[in-house]
């Protein structure tokens, strides 16, 4: 397992999302339990239910939250099925919910194909019970489908060139590791600047494998329905595709007042201490 996950915008979440009167907080992406442990510590009257579709994440969260026994319930599940997952433990409503989107540091460093240098199987699943892997996408999607994924989910204007290079390489032999994939992309397009040329391709394939954008649409729709009146929904996103969906769903819902007209961003000290925070945006809305 890789490095520990540092939660982003901790104080901002605690101050803009949760109030001292809240009884039930849903952490839709409990991950390493960073946000949850902070909130449980700060608000003694708060109970929480934490969801994650990654069993490794839940094991870390369980350990991190063991000091709050009796106030914590952890469930393996996908927040896209929020209503069903919470319904399975007879929860029909709650005071507040946080979605801290994307993946954790320990998933990135866990040899699961999320990282350019991973010499292990090209997996990228957050939930290892689901059938589709990054290997399947890279080795079995046709040219048009690959190009579409890289264009739409990576917003990479070089998608055609990258898809062509993948098609050519896999004719010789299957592309089996993340390192092989990043090397192919690196060869296909020139390196400009400090960002690895395969960054957008990896983001695109990860989104496709985990159905990330559909998960957000479905999970947020359930959250908007289920949260109590005056309860709050907070979403931390890490790229524009996610943020656009959140912004639009908040704006379009007649059930919500948007609290953050502009998203809350981390300050410079946080970015210096945790570079992953650089692209984080927190949006908060309150149920009418």
Ligand X SMILES: C[S@@+](CC[C@H](N)C(=O)[O-])C[C@H]1O[C@@H](n2cnc3c(N)ncnc32)[C@H](O)[C@@H]1O
Residues that bind ligand X (CB under 6 A): 5, 7, 29, 31-35, 51-54, 57, 78-80, 100, 102-104, 126, 215
Report the residue number, 100 or 243, with the smaller CB distance to ligand X.
Answer: 100
Minimum distance, C-beta of residue 215 to ligand X, in the bound complex (Å): 4
Q: Give how far Cα 139 sits from Cα of 122, 145, 150, 163, Å.
A: 10, 11, 14, 11
Report the residue number, 37 or 253, with the smaller CB distance to ligand X.
Answer: 37
Report the residue number, 144 or 214, with the smaller CB distance to ligand X.
Answer: 214
Report the residue number, 52 or 208, with the smaller CB distance to ligand X.
Answer: 52
70 dihedral zone (left: phi>0; alpha: psi -120 to 50; beta):
left
Any idea which residue has 């912004």 for tokens?
247
Minimum distance, C-beta of residue 114 to ligand X, in the bound complex (Å): 11
Q: DSSP strand E in the chain: where? A: 24-27, 47-52, 72-76, 94-100, 227-237, 256-258, 281-287
Non-local (6+) Cβ contacts of 25 within 8 A are 18, 36, 39, 46, 47, 48, 49, 94, 95, 96, 97, 98
Minimum distance, C-beta of residue 248 to ligand X, in the bound complex (Å): 18
Minimum distance, C-beta of residue 25 to ligand X, in the bound complex (Å): 12
Report the residue number, 80 or 283, with the smaller CB distance to ligand X.
Answer: 80
Minimum distance, C-beta of residue 228 to ligand X, in the bound complex (Å): 22
Please, is 148 exposed, middle or buried when counting C-beta atoms within 10 Å of its C-beta (0-12, 13-18, 19+)?
A: middle
């Amino acid at each position: 397992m890789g490095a520990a996950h540092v939660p982003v915008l901790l104080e901002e979440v605690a101050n803009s999302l949760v109030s001292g009167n809240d009884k039930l907080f849903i952490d839709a992406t409990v991950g390493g339990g960073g946000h949850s442990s902070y909130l449980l510590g700060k608000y003694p009257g708060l109970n929480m239910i934490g969801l994650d579709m990654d069993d490794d994440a839940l094991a870390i969260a369980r350990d991190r939250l063991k000091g709050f026994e009796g106030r914590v319930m952890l469930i393996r599940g996908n927040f896209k099925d929020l209503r069903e997952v919470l319904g399975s433990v007879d929860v029909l409503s709650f005071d507040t919910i946080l979605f801290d989107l994307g993946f954790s540091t320990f998933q990135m460093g866990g040899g699961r194909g999320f990282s350019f240098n991973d010499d292990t199987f090209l997996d990228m699943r957050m939930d290892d019970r689901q059938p589709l892997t990054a290997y399947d996408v890279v080795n079995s999607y046709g040219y048009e489908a690959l190009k579409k994924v890289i264009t739409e989910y990576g917003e990479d204007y070089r998608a055609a060139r990258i898809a062509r290079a993948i098609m050519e390489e896999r004719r010789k032999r299957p592309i089996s590791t993340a390192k092989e994939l990043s090397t192919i992309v690196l060869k296909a397009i020139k390196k400009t600047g400090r960002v690895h040329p395969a960054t957008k391709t990896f983001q695109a394939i990860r989104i496709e494998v985990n159905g990330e954008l559909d998960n957000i649409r479905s999970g947020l729709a359930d959250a908007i329905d289920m949260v109590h009146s005056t309860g709050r929904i907070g979403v931390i996103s890490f790229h524009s595709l996610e943020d656009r969906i959140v912004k639009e769903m908040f704006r379009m819902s007649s059930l919500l007042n948007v609290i953050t007209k502009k998203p809350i961003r981390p300050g410079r000290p946080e970015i210096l201490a945790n570079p992953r925070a650089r692209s984080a945006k927190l949006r908060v809305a309150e149920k009418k």
